[in-house]
Amino acid sequence: MLSTKKTKPSSSNPYQISSSDTIASNQDILTLILRCLPLKSLLKFKTVSKHWLSLITDPRFRPKHSSTTISGLFLRRLSGRTNPIFDFVNLSPHLSRAPFRSLTFVNDRSGIRILQSCNGLLLCCSFRANGFQTAYYVYNPTTKHYTVLPPLGSSRNNAFGFSLAFDPSKSSHYKVICITNSDPDLPDHYRVEIYSSETGPWRPSGRPFVAPSHVQFKNCVFWNGAIHWLSDWGDSLCFHVEEEKMRDIPMPSILDEDVRRCRYFGESRGHLHLVEIYGPDNLLFDVFEMERDYSGWFVKYRVDLNPVAASFPEMVRGYVDPIDLQFYAFSVLCVVREETDEGSFMVLHLPHKAIRYNFKDNSFSKVHDFAPLGSRAELVGDNSLEFECFDAYQFIESFACA
């Protein structure tokens, strides 16, 4: 660990300066050393001095080591407030404070919500309506830096979804993808608009394309250099950001159902996961993973939640819910891959709580209680759920410049 303690000059040479003093006084050398440190050390060293704080939080500072560890999840609470409140589910082995309770990094009186999390950055937007243009932001909750995205232009009223693409292992810059309607008279004809943090303004990409109406452009996952959108049936879609090409994604077959019942779709440590559950008795299911060449899905984990239901009887509804058609109340918030697969786990939301379920040995433990929030009891019942998978946003510590 670097030391800022000054060494007294020796009696033989009153002008002698210690090596630590030399490093501490040379900004270029100190910056090079700090860049080589892990992120957790950098977070601690921000408190050493105002000088170190300014170096580490400088937008031009680029650590060599980028984290892929999911430290926690942000979840937006059901609330009548304009500016939503977020719960933070800590997944770190060390007790960690929530980076924020509500998003107040900019004075947006209409309130700010999260659209997507991507490798340490959050894509956010305001709640503006009634003809006012929605503002969009990219925010880093670790450094508190943010960028206000420029207006989309004439396409803003025809935007179907915004997506963030950021891979710190490839570049320090990010891109925001917007799907717009290319022709008001042709509702299934779309165009891609791209904003780059490196080059600036929005620009159209390629030619308009045709997509089925059942593709969900509002919810997306960035993986393998591409933005992925689910379809309610049939193949899904992805857009390769660098090649700027749209392609179909093969999906598992739907058995005896008219609509795909996706319960989770997300990425962790370079792996894309999918959970689909059919039928009311839903305690046995598989977690699928996509091959990197998109040749198909394979079963990565098999899950048995019968022991969980025995330990948490509030999961048992006693009826089939008319919304999700399930007999047991739970949702998959996140599939988390660790450095070694033995430590990989899943975060589940049960009524009023979140639990951690380990894939290797099927063990589980409670990691969070959701406290009542205002009139929450009137909004949800004893066996109801407040969150689904797209309500959970990953928190990854990052010094990326927003």
pLDDT the model gives residue 243: 96
State the DSSP string of 185-199: T-TTEEEEEEEETTT
| Residue-by-residue pLDDT tens, the chain, 402 positions | 444 444 454 555 554 555 656 656 677 788 787 777 767 677 777 778 888 777 776 766 766 656 788 999 999 987 655 678 899 999 988 767 889 999 999 988 888 999 999 999 999 998 765 445 689 999 999 888 999 999 887 655 588 899 999 999 899 899 999 999 887 777 788 999 999 999 989 999 988 898 877 898 999 999 999 999 999 888 899 999 999 999 999 998 876 666 788 999 999 999 999 999 887 778 999 999 999 999 999 999 999 999 999 999 999 887 776 666 678 999 999 999 998 999 999 999 999 999 999 999 999 999 999 987 554 444 445 667 889 999 999 999 887 877
Cα–Cα distance, 188 to 209 (Å, whole number): 8
* Tokens encoding 29: 């050398």
DSSP label of 50? H
Cα–Cα distance, 268 to 114 (Å, whole number): 19
Dihedral of CA atoms 20, 25, 28, 30 in degrees, nearest 10, equals 40
Cα–Cα distance, 65 to 61 (Å, whole number): 12
* Tokens encoding 238: 């992805």
DSSP label of 204? E
CA nearest neighbour of 179 among 130, 246, 116? 246
Alpha helices by DSSP H, 245-333: 306-311
CB under 8 Å to 67, separation ≥6 — which residues?
Answer: 39, 120, 396, 397, 398
